[in-house]
Amino acid sequence: MSSVSAQGVVERASAELSRRITGLGLRGRKRSPGVVERVANALCGPASSAPRIPRRRRPSPRPLVWSQFILDERFLEKFFLYFNSNDRRTLGQVCTKWRDILYSSTRWWMGLVAIVDFRESRSESECCMQRFYNSVVRRGVRGMALVAASDEDINEFIRVFPLSANHVNALSLKGCTVTDRGLESILDHLEVLFELELTGCNEITEAGIWACLTPRIVSLTLTDCINIADEAVGAVAQLLPSLYEFSLQAYHVTDAALGYFSQKQSASLSILRLHSCWELTNHGVVNIVHSLPNLTVLSLSGCSKVTDEGVELVAENLPRLRSLDLSWCPRVTDSALEYIACDLNQLEELTLDRCVHITDIGVGYISTMQSLVALYLRWCSQLRDFGVQHLCAMRALQLLSLAGCPLLTSGGLSSLIQLRQLRELELTNCPGASPELFDYLREHLPRCVIIE
């Protein structure tokens, strides 16, 4: 029996290694590996495994330099989404490229209102104003606000901007000296007007309201117009059968005015906002709930004569309410909040600012409302830390305001970190809120905007 010496094994293994490294492995007939080949296999792997050929990589595209990047249309379209319509107005002035992209689609200007202040525009040339109005049309802006306009300004607006007849859907007159005649002219001209707002227009009378309102209006706001009273509300009820939203701020409106609404409006009117209607009492609330049972949004803000009994009527007869505003109603107490918690099971937003008789007991009632998403308790002077503990059970709450509540402490406010779903928390003018508290809240509520 012959044996292989150690020296011979080493020499033959060295030769085999050299052949493997150079890719010249043996390709004979299949046989069992000998000692030398087994040593080579252990060091280099089997001879049958061919060496990998590296693939050629495609060259990656060269990155855009900054001057090219800020002019790339795909980038700009995504970039502009981070700004609202008012900010985009400024972005359109950066360069012609940005302006052309922003002007290429009306989607960039949704919800924007073009404002014409006639105290300034009277000094502008007609050509300048025409360019402005053409820009309004080009961007697809459908809302116009006319400030400090007179009857002559209204006539000039109609003459210089004839396209407004079939373009303007929403009109706001603010602080104007327009009379009934001027209001009639502008409403006759705007053939596709659906929303109208009159604010501080003290020359307009109730007779003008009767003469001017057109049935196509679905949203109407009358604010701080000294001649607006019960008869104007009667005109609204009679002349606007498709009215969807009505906002009224008038000091002289009485309970009788709300009796003008009939079943004609009950099918369409969904939003009713009454602000500082000081003469309104619980009898007016009776008229509201009987005439408008389908309301989803109701504001009685500043209706200082409304009491807990009036709120009880609302809770029992308006089950579809999603939003209720009782701010600046000093006669509302914890009892009203018990009615709300028991009957308004679909309520999502509740405003109780300056309801000075609300205590921790009332907050305990509303803390049982699992549908509530937004709660405003600004300047509720009797609210204490115990009430804040109740709020921590409201797992659906996303917006909360405790601004101006003087009795809250840092210890009580720190418990709000349990509301992990909060998106906005307002703590302005809270003596118990310290810089350390704000840091603590931001650390534990990273997705919430904390308003100091």
Question: Which tens digit of pLDDT belongs to each residue from 377-413?
Answer: 999 999 999 999 999 999 999 999 999 999 999 999 9
User: Cβ distance 87 to 67 under 8 Å?
Assistant: no
Residue 36 has pLDDT above 50, yes or no: no
Instruction: Specify burial of residue 159 (Cβ count, 10 A radius: 0-12, 13-18, 19+).
Output: exposed
Choice among 31-45, 84-98, 258-272, 351-365 with the minimum mean pLDDT: 31-45
Rounded CA-CA distance 220/249 in Å is 12
The pLDDT of residue 229:
93
The pLDDT of residue 147:
97
φ and ψ of 219, to 5 deg:
-135, 125
Choice among 41-45, 354-358, 373-377, 390-394 with the minimum mean pLDDT: 41-45
Domain boundaries, the chain: 359-451
The pLDDT of residue 76:
73
Across the range 307-323, mean pLDDT stands at 97
Residue 341 has pLDDT above 70, yes or no: yes
In the chain, pLDDT over 90 holds for what percent of residues?
Answer: 72
Choice among 106-115, 296-305, 410-419 with the minimum mean pLDDT: 106-115
> End-to-end CA distance of the chain, in Å?
97
More confident: 110 or 65? 110
Buried b (16+ CB within 10 A) or exposed e, 229-261: bbbbbbbbbebbeebbbbbbbbeebbbebbbbb
Choice among 56-60, 256-260, 340-344, 413-417 with the minimum mean pLDDT: 56-60
Residue 69 has pLDDT above 90, yes or no: no
Mean pLDDT over the full length of the chain: 87
Q: What is the CATH number of domain 359-451?
A: 3.80.10.10
Instruction: Specify burial of residue 284 (Cβ count, 10 A radius: 0-12, 13-18, 19+).
Output: buried
φ and ψ of 223, to 5 deg:
-135, 130
The pLDDT of residue 162:
96
424 DSSP β-pair partners: 399, 449
The pLDDT of residue 51:
56
Listed residue (260, 186, 273, 179) closest to 221, CA to CA: 273
Torsion sign across C-alpha atoms 89, 94, 100, 102:
negative
Most confident by average pLDDT, 20-24, 26-30, 193-197:
193-197
Across the range 111-131, mean pLDDT stands at 92
- How far CA 290 is from CA of 254, 259, 284, 338, 340, in Å, comes to 16, 9, 10, 22, 18
DSSP state at residue 55: P
Residue 49 has pLDDT above 90, yes or no: no
The pLDDT of residue 25:
45
Residue 13 has pLDDT above 80, yes or no: no
DSSP letter string over 395-421? TT--EEE-TT-TT--HHHHHGGGG-TT
The pLDDT of residue 28:
45
What confidence category does residue 56 fall into, taking pLDDT thresholds of 50, 70 and 90? low
What confidence category does residue 264 fall into, taking pLDDT thresholds of 50, 70 and 90? confident
What confidence category does residue 427 fall into, taking pLDDT thresholds of 50, 70 and 90? very high
